[in-house]
Chain A
Amino acid sequence: MKYLHNIGAYFIMIKDIFRKPTKWSVMKTLILKDIDDLIIGSLGIVAFIGFFVGGVVAIQTSLNISNPLIPKYLVGFATRQSIILEFAPTFISIIMAGKVGSFITSSIGTMRVTEQIDALEVMGINAINYLVFPKFIALTLYPFVISIAMFLGILGGLAACVYGGYGTLEDYVTGIQNDFIPFHMAYAFIKTMVFAFILATIPSFYGYFMKGGALEVGKASTTSFVWTSVVIILLNFLLTSLLLG
Chain B
Amino acid sequence: MTFSAARASRFLCTVFAAGVAAGAAQAEVTVLGWPGGPEETALRAVAEAYNARPEVSGDNKVELLFFNRDGFWDKLQADLAAGSDAFDVNLLATYSIGRYAPFMEPVELSGEAQDLYGEAVLSTMQFDGRQYGVPTDLSLHFLYYRKDLIDALMADETAKARYAEISEEHLGRKLEPKDPNDWSWDDYAATALYFTQAVNPDSPTRYGTVLQMKNLLFNIMVWQSTARSEGGDWRDADGRITVNSDAFRKGLELYKMLYDAGATPRDSLSYEFAEANAAFASGQVAAMVQWNAAAADLTSAEKSPAVGEVTATVAPPAGSESRATHIHGLGLGLNKSAGNKDGAKAFLEWLSTRQAAIAYAKAGGAPALSPQAVSEIAEERPDLVQLGEYAGAFGYVMNGGASANALAVYELQAKEFTGYWSGQQDLDTALANVERGMAELLK
Does B associate with A? no
List the interface of chain A (C-beta within 8 A of B): none
List the interface of chain B (C-beta within 8 A of A): none
